[in-house]
Amino acid sequence: MADCATCIVRNRAICASLNPAELAALGRMGRKQKVRAGQTLLWEGDGAPVVANVLEGVLKLVVSTADGREQIVGVVFPSDFIGRPFGKESPYSVTAMTDAEVCIFNRNNFDEFAGSHPDLQQKLLRRTLDELDRARHWMMLLGRKSASEKVASFLLEMSERLEGQGCGVGLNRGAFELPFGRQQIADILGLTIETTSRQLTKMRADGVLDLPSRREIVIHDRAAMEDMAG
Amino acid sequence: MADCATCIVRNRAICASLNPAELAALGRMGRKQKVRAGQTLLWEGDGAPVVANVLEGVLKLVVSTADGREQIVGVVFPSDFIGRPFGKESPYSVTAMTDAEVCIFNRNNFDEFAGSHPDLQQKLLRRTLDELDRARHWMMLLGRKSASEKVASFLLEMSERLEGQGCGVGLNRGAFELPFGRQQIADILGLTIETTSRQLTKMRADGVLDLPSRREIVIHDRAAMEDMAG
DNA sequence: CGCACTTTTGACGAAGTTCAACGTTAGTGG
DNA sequence: CCACTAACGTTGAACTTCGTCAAAAGTGCG
């Protein structure tokens, strides 16, 4: 059982639509679970009947081919929702990219609860619509953009989503730390790790950004970056 | 005003969740509209506050770059839902690929109506979740598959969606007519028209399929096609 | 029949992948 | 605290796939 009253994402997650009594009822159905970086919470094609809210950390949604190629089809942050309500099997794997903590529900229980709480369902609908827009926008990137455009677009989106996470303390505008390595960037962009690395190196050479450490990015020339994003 | 009682997609569209009185109320808000092939119903970035059900025909959802590259991010068939409820502006253009007919609603009216009809909202949620799964599956295709895998996957998906449309009459298993030309196939797959054409020609040469006319496809060797799809 | 449009085909080049080697970083245990 | 190691990242060279450009062939409609 989860303690929703003190939940850190309480106001941003779909739970925000509930009154205290409803929240208590939902809390009784859920339980907190820690997930280590690299650990997989849901397997593609698996019938695992769970959904969850992300409390802490970053997780990826991955689709794979039979021969082992991977495409990351989504990245979820705290307060985001995971899983497939009203579904049979998970259409993708969910794996933690950092140590993470999630609030897990049995899917059938959750589906039923959602069915009798229209406000929750509407929040879920809005979220799903936003995710769909993001996915479709990403389809344009995957299908039609060049390697440099992909990397530039990616960095701009990440900068928006991540800036001010390590907030206040010393991080300037345009500076952020990615929660993942080169291979995972490549898996997001539909590129190889080598191409990704080369593009980043070139951008540094061109003075558009700086790479202080493996996972840190500092965007110097945002205008140039936006031009490159196509 | 639309006459829902005689609507051809009445049982398959989201309207199926409504009782006769509700249906009448929704019908009063909607109106039927014909759209010619090639005509655009909604423009990307436009604030056009409309949503719609497809009654007849096929439409595409398109995202474009500033320099004119296009990626088709969705294809909608009769009984599918179009538009972005609870949104500000349309994240993509909607253009008819064939002559079509849609049942249009003002978005604000629709949003309000949906808010007070949880069953309708749930149907919309389920549909949106399905679309999201489809979009993510498509991201894998765009990001990680080769040209031949793309074409094979595409033909298999279209065969599932289209077979038995021209139903009963003379069309065998594996035979179907695409509602679009080579350029549009290319825009769906993130390829050029030349590459698309070459892949199809090669498949015909290999005896995997036949191309009786511009838009007809006959799959001879489905197993081989599935292998090629990766 | 002729015209506009779509599709196919060919030759060539560029972008990105593959394979291989090397450099760098962070974490572990002496 | 340093040395060692494994994982991660970068770089180079050869190669493949796909895109580009150009032209020919096919299709459908007035």
Tens digit of pLDDT for each residue in A18-51? 999 999 999 999 999 999 999 999 999 988 889 9
Neighbour tally for A112: CB within 10 Å: 12
Tell me what pLDDT residue B129 has.
97
Amino acid letter for position B173: R
Within 10 angstroms of residue B94's Cβ, the number of other Cβ atoms is 25
Percent of chain B with pLDDT over 70: 96
What would you report as the CA-atom Rg of chain A, rounded to the nearest whole angstrom? 19
Which residues are within 8 A (CB) of B71 and not within 5 positions of it... i.e. 6 or more apart?
A: A139, A140, A143, A144, B62, B63, B64, B187, B190
Three-class DSSP category at B179: coil
Residue type, B183: Q
Alpha carbons B205 and B183: distance in angstroms, whole number = 21
A208 close to A148: Cβ distance less than 8 angstroms: no
Nearest 5°: phi and psi at A51?
Answer: -130, 165
Calculate the angstrom distance between C1' of D29 and CA of B39. 20
- Identify whether the C-beta of residue A132 lies closer than 8 Å to the C-beta of residue B178: no
Q: How confident is the model at residue B40 (pLDDT cuts 50, 70, 90)?
A: very high
Q: Which residue has the tokens 């019908």?
A: B27
pLDDT at residue number A128: 97
B95: β partners? B40, B60
Q: Which residues lie across from A213 on neighbouring strands?
A: none
Distance CA A153, CA A176 (A): 15
Per-residue pLDDT for A167 more than 50? no
Residue pLDDT, tens place only, B89-142: 899 999 999 999 999 999 999 999 999 999 999 999 999 999 999 999 999 999
Rg of chain B on CA atoms, in Å: 19
- Asked whether A90 and A44 are in contact (CB, 8 A), the reply is yes
Q: Which domains does chain B have, with CATH numbers?
A: 4-141 (2.60.120.10), 146-228 (1.10.10.10)
| A91 vs A84: CA distance, rounded Å | 8
Q: Which nucleotides of D are covered by protein (CB under 7 A)?
A: 8-13, 17-22, 27-28
Asked whether B218 and B207 are in contact (CB, 8 A), the reply is no
Q: Any residues with CB less than 8 A from the CB of A131 and at least 6 apart, and which?
A: A74, B132
CA distance A19 to B45: 36
Cα–Cα dist A83/A90, whole Å: 7
Percent of chain A with pLDDT over 70: 96
Say yes or no: Cβ of B37 under 7 A from any atom of strand D. no
Residues of chain A contacting residue B144, judged by C-beta atoms under 8 Å apart? 65, 69-71, 190
Mean pLDDT over A117-128 rounds to: 95
Contact between the CB of B205 and strand C at under 7 Å? no
Percent above pLDDT 90 for chain A? 85
Picking from B163, B154, B161, B188, the residue whose alpha carbon sits closest to that of residue B60 is B188
Nearest-nucleotide field for A193 (CA, C1'): D9
- Average pLDDT in the A85-109 region? 94
H-only helix segments in B19-85: 20-29
Q: How far is A130 from chain B (nearest CA, A)?
A: 9
Measure CA to C1' and name the residue nearest D7. Answer: A181
Distance CA A144, CA A142 (A): 6
| DSSP letter (8 states) at residue A5 | G
Per-residue pLDDT band for A172 (boundaries 50, 70, 90) equals low
Q: Which nucleotide has the least CA–C1' distance to B193?
A: C7
B57 contacts: CB under 8 Å, gap ≥ 6: B35, B37, B78, B96, B97, B98, B99, B100, B101
d(CA A29, CA A218): 43
Q: Find all residues with CB under 8 Å of A51, minimum gap 6, and list them.
A: A81, A82, A83, A84, A85, A104, A105, A107, A110
Spatial distance between the Cα atoms of A199 and A95, rounded to a whole number of angstroms: 26
Quote the CA–CA distance of A122 and B121 in Å, as a whole number. Answer: 7
Contact B55/B10 with Cβ under 8 angstroms?
no
Q: What is the pLDDT confidence band of residue B164, given thresholds at 50, 70 and 90?
A: low
pLDDT at residue number A218: 95
pLDDT, residue B38, reads 92
User: Do B121 and A121 contact (CB within 8 A), yes or no?
Assistant: yes
Instruction: Give CA separation, A161 vs A158, A166, B117, in Å.
Output: 5, 12, 34
